[in-house]
Amino acid sequence: MSSIDTSKVATSNRTDAATASKPGRAGSLATWADDRLGLASAMKKNLRKVFPDHWSFMLGEIALWSFVVLLLTGVFLTLWFNPSMGHITYEGSYDQLRGVGMSESMASTLHISFDVRGGLLMRQMHHWAASIFVASMMVHLLRVAFTGAYRKPRELNWVIGCLLLLLGTLEGFTGYSLPDDLLSGTGVRAADGFLKATPVVGTYMSFLLFGGEFPGESIIPRLYIIHVLLIPGILLALIAAHMLLLVYHKHTQWPGPGRTEQNVVGYPMLPVYAAKAGGFFFMVFGVIAIMGGLMSINPVWKFGPYDPTKVTAGSQPDWYMGWPDGLLRIIPTGWESVIFGYTISWNVMLPILILPPLMLVILMLLPFIEGWITGDKRDHHLLQRPRNAPTRTAVMVALMTFYGLAWAAGGNDIIAIRLDLSINQITYFMRVAIFLGPILAFWITRRWCISLQRHDNEKLLHGYETGVITRSPEGAYAERHLPINPTSAYTLTARDRDEVYTVGSDTDAAGVDAPNSRSEKLRAKLSSWMYSHNVQKPTRAELEEAHHHAEHEAELQAGLDHPVDGHQFDDHRLRDTTDVPLRD
């Protein structure tokens, strides 16, 4: 309907011809611009673009807005930061380090912190925003995974998102390494060790990165250009691609009456989402500003300049690098093998060089693996509730458990001193829990989801629990159930039945092996593993039977209705079932 231009239609029903009135000043300016830029038609479409309303759809926005804060504060910091490893003596305002020799990058960081107006606030906002940027990408990722939003057609956007997470992490690492303080220097030294643990090419890679033996004089300028140009450039491009695909695919929505795979029910960009998203930007900015203003982060002046002979307790990377560090902390130290006189350090390779990239690959492949098992080639714009995909939900929770345990292991020393535990016992516990925890989490989550599915079916078939207990003449007690309203019933049943994939005959009519029979068998096995335990929604016949039964019950209880419900004197009785929201 928006394709009909109503601006030239007469506003009255008089008989003489209508003419367009003379445009106002703003109107003529807009016309002038549109004649040259042609934005009107694009804007007309996009300003009316509809987004569905749900809090979990705004998690990615936290990442977007904290990235904007990162760009703003980052530009401020570049005005004073000097990425040089040139050696100077600090003569700034911070007493405890005056007269201490350090690199120019450390000195300029101290200068920003103590001698540039607002510099410390900007540094801390930049750092907090970075932590929140990566964290919000992760919660956004979890939302997308748990609701099945990564299914066709959004698999590639999922992959882009995973790459954004990887790049955000690398961007964070290169960023917090720049001040050349004791803590980050320890991190860079660790990174050097990881590079060198790579078989055959390790030493060459280390020499390439550091421009010679560690630490050399090149690493800070190189990290700087990676941090301010290379990765942000790729990040920006991928964010643009991520959002263009979002616009192209349109946003997913929760199922419900009136919501189909062909439409999007929600509010338009202008004015509703422009206001909401714009307001949310200021909230993100505000939270980051408050944190930057009130809460200390990375107090480099206490670490002092990097010096390979020094180290501090509590030397951890920022949180998003914490889980590989945790794996490194719990891996048995003796896992090394010597081949032709060369040491292969499995104890470094496994937790740092093998597992994290493997986890990333698994993450990126999730939608493709699921798509292959289900064989589902349809587009999906309606989301699934996590309980309605029990295996997927359980796989994600298992991955989260693995991540969480590794992450906690990365803070083992802090956990030990804060909770009065032995760091050794934590390590032993983690070595077992890292294997058992995900399995246990998978099993619990899947059974939990299936129970919730069963509960949904009970609500559909028997209604919801009213909390009204009736006593029969025989003395038996029973709780009355009332049917849920049609909207809730529609929403609960708006899901597909799971179909377990079964392989046809192994051989065709002529006795020739069917193509791909082995992979098809595997697929069937996985499909059965994924779906066979699920509870399917009731059939039409079952629902009708249940309704018939409910009506019969209601008839039986008709006479009892008045005296037993116990709500004569309040307003509960006045409500009918349509007022009762979907309860779960």
Contact pick of 76, 81, 128, 402 for other proteins (by CB under 8 A) = 128
Select the span of 37-45, 71-79, 156-164, 305-313 touching other proteins (CB under 8 A).
305-313
384 binds other proteins (CB under 8 A): no
- Tell me the closest approach of the beta carbon of residue 298 to other proteins, in angstroms: 7
Q: Could you write out the DSSP letters of every residue in 482-528?
A: EPPPHHHHHHHH-SPPP-------SB-TTSPBPTTHHHHHHHHHHHH
Interacting positions 6-25 with other proteins (CB under 8 A): 6, 11
Select the span of 59-67, 80-88, 394-402, 464-472 touching other proteins (CB under 8 A).
59-67
Interacting positions 474-513 with other proteins (CB under 8 A): none
Burial degree of 62 (CB within 10 A; 0-12, 13-18, 19+)? buried
- Which amino acid does the sequence have at 456? D
Interacting positions 132-171 with other proteins (CB under 8 A): 132, 135-136, 139
- Tell me the closest approach of the beta carbon of residue 99 to other proteins, in angstroms: 5
* d(C-alpha 247, C-alpha 49), whole Å: 9
Q: Which of 363, 396, 405, 394 is nearest to 158 (CA)?
A: 363
Q: How do strand 336-339 and strand 477-482 relate by DSSP bridges?
A: unpaired
User: What are the phi and psi torsion angles at 468 (to 5°)?
Assistant: -95, 120
Interacting positions 313-332 with other proteins (CB under 8 A): 313-319, 322
* d(C-alpha 457, C-alpha 577), whole Å: 18
99 binds other proteins (CB under 8 A): yes
- Tell me the closest approach of the beta carbon of residue 276 to other proteins, in angstroms: 5
Nearer to other proteins, 372 or 429 (CB): 429
C-alpha of 188 from chain center: 28
Tokens standing for 309?
């002979």
Which residues have a Cβ under 8 Å from the Cβ of 537 and sit 6 or more positions away?
Answer: 456, 457, 460, 492, 493, 495, 497
Rg for the chain (alpha carbons), in Å? 31
Interacting positions 210-249 with other proteins (CB under 8 A): none
Contact pick of 23, 118, 257, 293 for other proteins (by CB under 8 A) = 293
Q: Could you write out the DSSP letters of every residue in 204-236?
A: HHHHHHHTSSSSTTTHHHHHHHIIIIIHHHHHH
Nearer to other proteins, 312 or 343 (CB): 312
429 binds other proteins (CB under 8 A): no
Nearer to other proteins, 288 or 430 (CB): 288
Select the span of 50-58, 253-261, 361-369, 448-456 touching other proteins (CB under 8 A).
50-58
- Tell me the closest approach of the beta carbon of residue 10 to other proteins, in angstroms: 11
Select the span of 80-88, 120-128, 359-367, 538-546 touching other proteins (CB under 8 A).
120-128
3-state DSSP assignment of residue 63 = helix
* d(C-alpha 222, C-alpha 220), whole Å: 5
Nearer to other proteins, 206 or 316 (CB): 316
Contact pick of 62, 160, 188, 449 for other proteins (by CB under 8 A) = 62
Nearer to other proteins, 346 or 403 (CB): 403
The size of the interface with other proteins (CB under 8 A), counted in residues, is 75
Nearer to other proteins, 202 or 411 (CB): 411
- Tell me the closest approach of the beta carbon of residue 267 to other proteins, in angstroms: 6
Select the span of 12-20, 131-139, 369-377, 554-562 touching other proteins (CB under 8 A).
131-139
Select the span of 241-249, 309-317, 342-350, 384-392 touching other proteins (CB under 8 A).
309-317
* d(C-alpha 145, C-alpha 158), whole Å: 9
431 binds other proteins (CB under 8 A): no
Burial 95-134 (b: 16+ CB within 10 A, else e): eebeeeebbbbbbbbbbbbeebeebbbbbbbbbbbbbbbb
Q: Which residues pair with 222 in a beta bridge?
A: none
- Tell me the closest approach of the beta carbon of residue 404 to other proteins, in angstroms: 11
Contact pick of 103, 345, 374, 412 for other proteins (by CB under 8 A) = 412
* d(C-alpha 30, C-alpha 21), whole Å: 15
* d(C-alpha 295, C-alpha 117), whole Å: 18
What is the 3 state secondary structure string of 88-146? Answer: EECCCCCHHHCCCEEEHHHHHHHHHHHCCCCHHHHHHHHHHHHHHHHHHHHHHHHHHHH
Contact pick of 1, 20, 26, 295 for other proteins (by CB under 8 A) = 295
- Which amino acid does the sequence have at 133? F
Contact present, 58 and 266 (Cβ < 8 Å): no
- Tell me the closest approach of the beta carbon of residue 445 to other proteins, in angstroms: 21
Angle at 234 between CA 230 and CA 240, to 5 degrees: 150
206 binds other proteins (CB under 8 A): no
- Tell me the closest approach of the beta carbon of residue 417 to other proteins, in angstroms: 5
H-type alpha helices, 352-485: 355-374, 390-410, 412-418, 423-462
Contact pick of 207, 280, 335, 490 for other proteins (by CB under 8 A) = 280
Tokens standing for 320?
């998003």
Contact pick of 34, 91, 261, 307 for other proteins (by CB under 8 A) = 307
Nearer to other proteins, 293 or 357 (CB): 293
423 binds other proteins (CB under 8 A): yes
Nearer to other proteins, 318 or 498 (CB): 318
Select the span of 28-36, 75-83, 255-263, 289-297 touching other proteins (CB under 8 A).
289-297
3-state DSSP assignment of residue 422 = coil
- Tell me the closest approach of the beta carbon of residue 118 to other proteins, in angstroms: 13
Contact pick of 2, 12, 13, 309 for other proteins (by CB under 8 A) = 309
Nearer to other proteins, 35 or 420 (CB): 420
Contact pick of 120, 197, 209, 396 for other proteins (by CB under 8 A) = 120
What is the greatest pairwise CA distance in the chain?
101
User: What are the phi and psi torsion angles at 435 (to 5°)?
Assistant: -95, -45
Please report which helix (H) or strand (E) contains residue 181, including its range: none
Nearer to other proteins, 28 or 424 (CB): 424
Interacting positions 65-84 with other proteins (CB under 8 A): none
